[in-house]
């Protein structure tokens, strides 16, 4: 158990015992009739006060360490002085008003002073440190004296036999303050393990308990005595702390005595000195070394020992210690009493006080005279041996453990140069790192002689080959300290060997694998490239047949052809699929030739191999990229055309049929736009997997790009194709779960049958594409077989699109205006601008036919801008003609609405024409608005900020969220004419119309109904509160001239 824990539990037991003993004390007083004993009370209060005073002055006297540092224990002492001094006055006073007020005041002043433990501890001046306890005592005496002489002015502390509320209030405050003061002591004890804090923690808690119990006591009652005993017990804890403090001081004294003994009997001279250089301590070893007794040197300057060089070194080392160095070690020369010079090794270290301030220096001085003499003798021996070694013609070099040259004989210096000493051996080394590291074991304790040959750069720059014999050098303890090496220049000796090996090196270093076998095809040699390629070393394969490398995947005919060629004395060239040592297969391009001796006899075979695995893989990859879709792995357009061509040829031979299907996902662009292309790509991959699992093995599916897939279904009927398509559509519509998104997609499929719908790939693909677009126009998520009617429709669409490109410049387009009427009084409030097209050859073309073509071809943007400018110009002309201003409504297509510069375009046209923006209304269909509500917000807000009105056209035909609709900056909802047509007879249409009108009004919007043609329709709409109407009941769409006449005449049908 830790000492802090043991002390804690011991004091807990003592504190608990305090309450028990205090209770026993009260019982004893009751037994012996001492409950009203004034002398006993005086004894208790006086003893507690003297304990507190003794402890307080003890703290200030013996706990300063000459630093005058105010700690939390000093602050407690100030509190105890106040409690003790005022308590003494309380003890000598007679029971009465002053008697009680002295106690409560003393406790209150003490609790306030004890709260000063929260003040940060700090160092103060000697005057402040000395004056604080005296000031506390004097102030306490003054307070007690004032209470003595002002007792008649104090309120009665006892009312009705109990202590007054004021007394109880003061005591409770004291209890709270004492309790708060206990917190820092608990913190320091638990967090910083300072055991002395637990005593003060107990003191503060017991004083808090005594103050708290005061309110429940009566003068001379049991509780009154009980808290007296508890308070006295708190002072008892001070005695416990004092006892422990004395024990620690004794232990410290013992430790210092032990340290003094160690210093005195140390073999090294130990000297301490003050920061001004005066000797403080001088042990026996110092006396023996320098001849001075302690009495001769203590108090004198340490400079009596210094030689001039030692004094200079000492000053520098002291400067470094002042700058933060902890210990300095150096060798120097001191002067003994007899004048002799003494070689010494000095360890200089700072002596610091408790505040980490350097107050002195300690020197440990060791006599190294004998060591110096030994070193000089060794040096003489070294010089003699060096002369011997210099006479040897071989190169002799010595390196340390870092492989740096530290000595060389004359031959070594002649070879490496005069500056060789201090350089690393690697500086002169020319060769592979493995060779250089051959001698590493010498530096790890290996005692064997190591032979190595290495190229070295001579001092003249020439590279020479040296043969080295190296052995380790160890110190007296057997630890490696370097190596000694002898070398001979063997450059010329090796020259002839290199010439002989040149040819074999060429083979060895060839980037191609080389195998040489004997005449029986047993391996005799393989080069390094072979080992790198296969993993087999020469030891692994020597004497074995090359069939060891066969993977079993090379055609047997290749081996037959190989031996046929070799038996005829010819070389063979081909490819093998072989297997390496690790089991991996690779493809080799191989050339094998026989080798003949001069007499013509066969002696060997030589094979030269080149690994072409990566080359083959690259070729396969190029072929794959050229024929397959990189994302899904499906055949691409190149493969598709080849396979359609193949099936056409098969069908021709067998008079058969096959189907080509064109599949396109519905609204796939929305997924890419909203969720990102990465999600779209994953969807396409998963879709490809589903499709492949649905079709037959003989069927083909390919991806042209984007979300377009082409199928080839051979040997099938129209009924069979329909079954496959329906199964595909069902499979595709099952939800996809992709990165926490559940996606449901549909597809439109077009089908062309060979040879009915085409006899070549291009025609079949074009007709399947046409059928697919027809499927999309018919509601999507379905399929269509190609028909002649589709071909005619396609031709018509192409004709109209081409004609539409020139319609503006040929002045074939014009705008008509249909009046919009206020339902309450039938006056004209606006007009809807409607586009019409009269072609000179094709006649009048319905907007329902040419508007979609304009949107698909992109022509809607210039046409839409023309319509907008024409309508705005006409509205301005009516105003300029003196007619009351009316609002002209212009329809916006989806392409126009999503154009990023729409607001700027509208504003520009209004400014150019001069029409105020409040007279322009832009109609937007419900489907376009709800396609991307967040983008719609931004565009509508921009237009609204420019003063332009917005309305929702064809309302009720789509799906609108009320939450979105509330945020749209529109002022009118237009009820689609499909709901107006049968409003007189169809309950469902009535319900829809009623709901739209109610919703518009609830949102603060107007409602306008289009397609009003009968009085019954008009009357019902007026009954339901519809605001405006438009339709043939009032007028068909009119030319500008006719509309002008209509306004003039104000032809209005009465509403009855």
pLDDT in tens, 525-565: 888 888 888 899 888 889 899 888 888 888 888 889 889 88
Instruction: Over range 1026-1055, report the average pLDDT.
Output: 83
Q: Are residue 154 and residue 131 in the same domain, yes or no?
A: yes
- Pseudo-torsion of CA 1036, 1041, 1042, 1045, nearest 10°? 140
CA distance 943 to 890: 14
Count of C-beta atoms within a 10 Å radius of residue 983: 24
Which DSSP helix (H) or strand (E) runs through 514? strand 513-518
Find where tokens 């590279």 sit. 463
Phi-psi sector, 1025: left (phi>0), alpha (psi -120 to 50), beta? left
Write the CATH number for 605. Answer: 3.30.450.20
Question: 960: number of CA atoms within 13 Å, CB side?
Answer: 23
User: How high is the pLDDT of residue 183?
Assistant: 85
The chain-wide mean pLDDT, for the chain, equals 83
Strand partners, 483: 399, 472
Contact residues for 60 (Cβ-Cβ < 8 A; gap 6+): 74, 77, 129, 130, 132, 133
CA distance 751 to 660: 6
| Contact by Cβ (8 Å): 962, 935 | no
Q: Are residue 568 and residue 423 in the same domain, yes or no?
A: no
Indicate if the pLDDT at residue 356 is higher than 70.
no
Contact residues for 354 (Cβ-Cβ < 8 A; gap 6+): 65, 67
| Of the candidates 216, 234, 243, the residue with the CA atom closest to the CA atom of residue 19 | 234
Residue 259 lies in a domain: no
Residue 336 phi, psi dihedral angles, 5° rounding: -80, 175
Any long-range contacts for 125-129 (C-beta under 8 Å, 24+ apart)?
A: 125/68, 126/68, 128/68, 129/60, 129/64, 129/68, 129/70
Give the pLDDT band of residue 125 (cuts 50, 70, 90). confident
CA distance 826 to 1047: 12
User: How high is the pLDDT of residue 1053?
Assistant: 43
CA distance 136 to 124: 16
Phi-psi sector, 478: left (phi>0), alpha (psi -120 to 50), beta? left
Give the pLDDT band of residue 879 (cuts 50, 70, 90). very high
Positive/negative CA dihedral, 51, 57, 59, 63: negative
CA distance 870 to 21: 110
Give the pLDDT band of residue 66 (cuts 50, 70, 90). very low
Higher pLDDT, 758 or 477: 758
Give the pLDDT confidence of 206-256 residue by residue, as tens digits: 888 777 877 777 777 777 777 777 777 777 777 777 677 666 655 544 445
Indicate if the pLDDT at residue 685 is higher than 90.
yes
Residue 633 phi, psi dihedral angles, 5° rounding: 80, 5
DSSP conformational letter for 545: -
| Contact by Cβ (8 Å): 200, 185 | yes
Give the pLDDT confidence of 270-312 residue by residue, as tens digits: 888 887 788 888 888 888 888 898 888 888 888 888 888 777 8
Residue 820 lies in a domain: no
Indicate if the pLDDT at residue 704 is higher than 60.
yes
CA distance 329 to 878: 108
DSSP conformational letter for 830: E
| Of the candidates 716, 714, 692, 718, the residue with the CA atom closest to the CA atom of residue 703 | 692
Residue 296 lies in a domain: yes
CA distance 575 to 587: 7
Instruction: Over range 908-928, report the average pLDDT.
Output: 90
Positive/negative CA dihedral, 390, 392, 393, 396: negative
CA distance 796 to 800: 6
Instruction: Over range 3-13, report the average pLDDT.
Output: 58
| Of the candidates 748, 720, 719, 721, the residue with the CA atom closest to the CA atom of residue 733 | 748
Strand partners, 591: 573, 608
Q: What is the pTM of this model?
A: 0.40
Residue 388 lies in a domain: no
Indicate if the pLDDT at residue 917 is higher than 80.
yes
Q: Are residue 354 and residue 481 in the same domain, yes or no?
A: no
Question: 1030: number of CA atoms within 13 Å, CB side?
Answer: 25
Give the pLDDT confidence of 456-480 residue by residue, as tens digits: 888 888 888 888 888 888 887 888 8
Indicate if the pLDDT at residue 916 is higher than 90.
yes
Q: Are residue 484 and residue 529 in the same domain, yes or no?
A: no
| Of the candidates 380, 418, 423, the residue with the CA atom closest to the CA atom of residue 398 | 423
| Of the candidates 409, 419, 410, 491, the residue with the CA atom closest to the CA atom of residue 453 | 491
Task: Kindly state the tokens that stand for 444.
Answer: 């790890």
Question: 249: number of CA atoms within 13 Å, CB side?
Answer: 9
CA distance 460 to 454: 17
Q: Are residue 868 and residue 906 in the same domain, yes or no?
A: yes
Contact residues for 121 (Cβ-Cβ < 8 A; gap 6+): 69, 70, 71, 72
526-554 per-residue burial string, b: 16 or more CB within 10 A, e: under 16: bbbbbbebbebeeeebeeeebeebeeeeb
User: How high is the pLDDT of residue 62?
Assistant: 66
Positive/negative CA dihedral, 322, 323, 328, 333: negative
| Maximal CA-CA distance, the chain | 148
Helix (H, G, I), strand (E, B) or coil at 1016: helix
> Domain containing 569: what range?
510-613
Give the pLDDT confidence of 584-616 residue by residue, as tens digits: 888 998 899 998 887 888 889 998 988 888 888
Instruction: Over range 115-138, report the average pLDDT.
Output: 83
- Pseudo-torsion of CA 649, 652, 658, 662, nearest 10°? 50
- Pseudo-torsion of CA 635, 639, 640, 643, nearest 10°? -120
| Contact by Cβ (8 Å): 953, 891 | yes
| Final residue belonging to a domain, choices 186, 216, 248 | 248
Count of C-beta atoms within a 10 Å radius of residue 511: 10
Q: Are residue 228 and residue 295 in the same domain, yes or no?
A: no
User: How high is the pLDDT of residue 120?
Assistant: 81
Q: Are residue 413 and residue 352 in the same domain, yes or no?
A: no
Residue 790 lies in a domain: no
Instruction: Calculate the alpha carbon distances from 1002 to 217, 608, 627, 966 in Å.
Output: 76, 91, 61, 10
Residue 848 lies in a domain: no
Q: Are residue 580 and residue 686 in the same domain, yes or no?
A: no
Residue 316 lies in a domain: yes
| Final residue belonging to a domain, choices 584, 613, 642 | 613
| Contact by Cβ (8 Å): 549, 579 | yes
**3-state SS of 584-635?**
CEEEEEEEEEEEECCCCCEEEEEEEEEECHHHHHHHHHHHHHHHECCCCCCE
Peptide bond into 755 cis (omega under 30): yes
| Final residue belonging to a domain, choices 555, 582, 613 | 613
Indicate if the pLDDT at residue 491 is higher than 70.
yes
Q: Are residue 773 and residue 684 in the same domain, yes or no?
A: yes
User: How high is the pLDDT of residue 910?
Assistant: 94
Give the pLDDT band of residue 752 (cuts 50, 70, 90). very high
CA distance 835 to 1056: 34
**3-state SS of 717-755?**
CHHHHHHHHHHHHHHHCCCEEECCEEECCCEEEEEEEEC
Give the pLDDT band of residue 484 (cuts 50, 70, 90). confident
Give the pLDDT band of residue 964 (cuts 50, 70, 90). low
Strand partners, 518: 604
Q: Are residue 875 and residue 956 in the same domain, yes or no?
A: yes
Q: Are residue 887 and residue 909 in the same domain, yes or no?
A: yes
CA distance 865 to 809: 14
| CA-based radius of gyration for the chain | 56
Query: Strands 783-785, 341-352: parallel, antiparallel or unpaired by DSSP?
Result: unpaired
| Contact by Cβ (8 Å): 454, 424 | no
| Of the candidates 1006, 989, 988, the residue with the CA atom closest to the CA atom of residue 997 | 1006
| Contact by Cβ (8 Å): 936, 968 | yes
Residue 238 lies in a domain: yes
Contact residues for 272 (Cβ-Cβ < 8 A; gap 6+): 279, 280, 281, 351, 360, 361, 362, 363
Q: Are residue 1003 and residue 890 in the same domain, yes or no?
A: yes
Query: Strands 949-955, 920-925: parallel, antiparallel or unpaired by DSSP?
Result: parallel
User: How high is the pLDDT of residue 1052?
Assistant: 43
The domain tally of the chain equals 6
């Amino acid at each position: 158990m830790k000492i802090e824990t043991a002390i804690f539990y011991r004091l807990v037991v003592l504190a608990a015992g305090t309450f028990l003993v205090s209770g026993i004390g009260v019982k004893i007083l009751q037994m012996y009739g001492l409950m009203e004993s004034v002398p006993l009370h005086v004894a208790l209060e006086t003893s507690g006060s003297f304990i507190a005073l003794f402890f307080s002055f003890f703290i200030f006297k013996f706990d300063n360490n000459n630093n005058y540092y105010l700690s939390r224990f000093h602050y407690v002492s100030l509190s105890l002085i106040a409690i003790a001094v005022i308590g003494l006055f309380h003890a000598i006073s007679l029971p009465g008003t002053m008697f009680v007020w002295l106690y409560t005041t003393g406790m209150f002043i003490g609790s306030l002073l004890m709260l000063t433990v929260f003040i940060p501890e700090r160092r103060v001046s000697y005057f402040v440190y000395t004056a604080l306890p005296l000031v506390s005592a004097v102030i306490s005496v003054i307070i007690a004296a004032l209470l003595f002489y002002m007792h008649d002015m104090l309120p009665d502390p006892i009312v009705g036999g109990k202590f007054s509320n004021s007394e109880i209030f003061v005591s409770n405050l004291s209890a709270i303050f004492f309790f708060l003061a206990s917190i820092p002591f608990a913190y320091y004890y638990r967090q910083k393990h300072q055991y002395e804090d637990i005593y003060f923690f107990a003191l503060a808690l017991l004083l808090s308990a005594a103050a708290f119990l005061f309110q429940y006591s009566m003068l001379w009652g049991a509780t009154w005595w009980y808290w007296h005993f508890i308070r006295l017990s708190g002072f008892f804890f001070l005695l416990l702390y004092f006892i422990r403090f004395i024990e620690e001081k004794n232990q410290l004294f013992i430790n210092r005595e032990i340290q003094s003994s160690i210093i005195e009997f140390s073999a090294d001279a130990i000297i301490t000195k003050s920061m001004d250089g005066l000797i403080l301590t001088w042990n026996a070893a110092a006396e023996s070394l320098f001849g001075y007794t302690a009495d001769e040197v203590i108090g004198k300057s340490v400079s009596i020992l210094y030689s001039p060089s030692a004094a200079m070194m000492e000053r520098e080392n002291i400067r470094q210690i002042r700058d933060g160095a902890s210990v300095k070690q150096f060798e120097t020369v001191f002067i003994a009493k007899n004048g002799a010079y003494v070689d010494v090794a000095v360890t200089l270290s700072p002596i610091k006080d408790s505040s980490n301030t350097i107050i002195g220096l300690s020197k440990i001085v060791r006599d190294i005279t004998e060591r110096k003499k030994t070193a000089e003798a060794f040096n003489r021996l070294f010089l003699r041996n060096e002369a011997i070694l210099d006479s040897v013609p071989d190169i002799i070099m010595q390196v340390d453990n870092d492989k740096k040259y530290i000595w060389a004989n004359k031959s070594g210096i002649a070879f490496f140069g005069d500056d060789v000493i201090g350089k690393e051996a690697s500086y002169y080394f020319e060769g592979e790192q493995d060779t250089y590291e051959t001698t590493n074991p010498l530096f790890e304790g290996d005692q064997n002689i190591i032979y190595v040959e290495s190229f070295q750069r001579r001092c003249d720059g020439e590279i020479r080959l040296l043969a080295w014999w190296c052995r380790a050098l160890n110190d007296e303890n057997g630890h490696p300290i370097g190596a000694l090496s002898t070398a001979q220049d063997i450059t010329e000796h090796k020259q002839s060997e290199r010439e002989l090996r040149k040819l074999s090196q060429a083979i060895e270093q060839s980037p191609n694998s080389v195998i040489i076998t004997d005449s029986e095809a047993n391996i005799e040699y393989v080069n390094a490239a072979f080992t790198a390629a296969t993993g087999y070393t020469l030891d692994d394969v020597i004497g074995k047949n090359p069939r060891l490398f066969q993977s079993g995947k090379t055609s047997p005919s290749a081996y037959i052809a190989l031996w046929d060629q070799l038996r005829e004395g010819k070389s063979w060239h081909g490819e093998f699929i072989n297997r390496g040592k690790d089991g991996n297969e690779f493809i080799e391009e191989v050339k094998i030739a026989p080798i003949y001796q001069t007499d013509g006899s066969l002696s060997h075979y030589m094979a030269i191999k080149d690994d072409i695995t990566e080359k083959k893989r690259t070729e396969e990859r190029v072929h794959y990229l050229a024929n397959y879709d990189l994302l899904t792995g499906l055949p691409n357009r190149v493969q598709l055309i080849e396979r359609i061509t193949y099936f056409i040829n098969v069908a021709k031979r067998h008079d058969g049929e096959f189907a080509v299907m064109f599949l396109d996902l519905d609204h796939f662009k929305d997924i890419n736009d909203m969720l990102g292309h990465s999600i779209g790509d994953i969807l396409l991959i998963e879709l490809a997997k589903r499709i492949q699992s649905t079709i037959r093995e003989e069927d083909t599916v390919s991806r042209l790009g984007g979300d377009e897939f082409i199928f080839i279904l051979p040997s099938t009927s129209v009924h069979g194709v329909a079954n496959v398509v329906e199964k595909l559509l069902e499979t595709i519509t099952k939800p996809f779960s992709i990165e926490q998104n559940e996606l449901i997609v549909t597809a439109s499929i077009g089908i062309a049958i060979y040879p009915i719908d085409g006899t070549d790939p291009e025609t079949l693909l074009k007709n399947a594409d046409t059928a697919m677009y027809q499927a999309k126009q018919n509601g999507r998520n379905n399929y269509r077989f190609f028909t002649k009617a589709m071909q005619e429709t396609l031709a018509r669409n192409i004709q109209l699109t081409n004609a539409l490109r020139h319609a503006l410049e040929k002045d074939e387009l014009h705008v008509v205006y249909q009046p919009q009427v206020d339902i309450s009084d039938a006056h004209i409030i606006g007009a809807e601008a409607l586009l019409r097209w009269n072609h000179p050859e094709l006649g009048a073309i319905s907007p329902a036919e040419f508007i979609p073509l304009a949107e698909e071809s992109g022509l809607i943007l210039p046409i839409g801008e023309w319509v907008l400018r024409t309508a705005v110009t006409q509205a301005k002309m009516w105003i300029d003609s003196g007619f009351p201003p009316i609002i002209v409504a212009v329809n916006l297509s989806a392409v126009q609405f999503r154009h990023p510069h729409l607001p700027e375009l509208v504003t520009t046209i209004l400014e150019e024409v001069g029409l105020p923006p409040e007279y322009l209304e832009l109609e937007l269909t419900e489907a376009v608005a709800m396609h991307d509500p967040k983008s719609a917000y931004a565009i509508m807000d921009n237009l609204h900020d420019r003063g332009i009105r917005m309305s929702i056209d064809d309302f009720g035909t789509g799906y609108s969220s009320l939450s979105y609709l509330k945020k749209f900056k529109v002022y009118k909802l237009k009820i689609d004419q499909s709901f107006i047509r049968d409003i007189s007879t169809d309950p469902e249409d009535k319900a829809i119309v009623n709901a739209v009108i109610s919703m518009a009004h609830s949102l603060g919007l107007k409602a306008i109904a289009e397609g009003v043609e009968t009085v019954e329709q008009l009357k019902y709409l007026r009954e339901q509160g519809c605001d405006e109407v438009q339709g043939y009941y009032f007028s068909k769409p009119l030319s500008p001239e006719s509309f002008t006449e209509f306004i003039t005449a104000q032809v209005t049908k009465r509403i009855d």
